Amino acid sequence: MSAVHTEPDRLERKKPEPIRPDWISKTLAGLLLGLSLALICSGVLMALMPDTPLPVSGQLAMWLVPAVWLSVLSFVYFFTSGLRAWVWLIGANIVALAIWLLILPGSAA
């Protein structure tokens, strides 16, 4: 008779890790701030193309929104905490808005 050798570690079932509570804040940051960042980037693109016909620039700006929004929503989970996601995305929104206001035709700058 041969005895089957099994390691006790393999027999014990590991509990799955619980869902981290900051996933909700990361998801909300990606949804809300990602959308605002995508809309601002769309506005920047429209401001950079004043002489392009509206059907072309409108389509480009329209299709930029889901690309930026879903990219932000995908990468937001790489932040170490929900608070960091909110802070960085608020900062990115402020920078993008400042750029948009600086290049906006007819602005005071």
The closest of 42, 20, 39, 37 to 86, measured between CA atoms, is 37
| Confidence (pLDDT) at 26 | 95
pLDDT tens digits, 35-93: 999 999 999 999 999 889 999 999 999 999 999 999 999 999 999 899 999 999 999 99
> Rounded CA gap, 105 and 66, in Å?
25
Whole-prediction pTM: 0.77
| Confidence (pLDDT) at 8 | 56
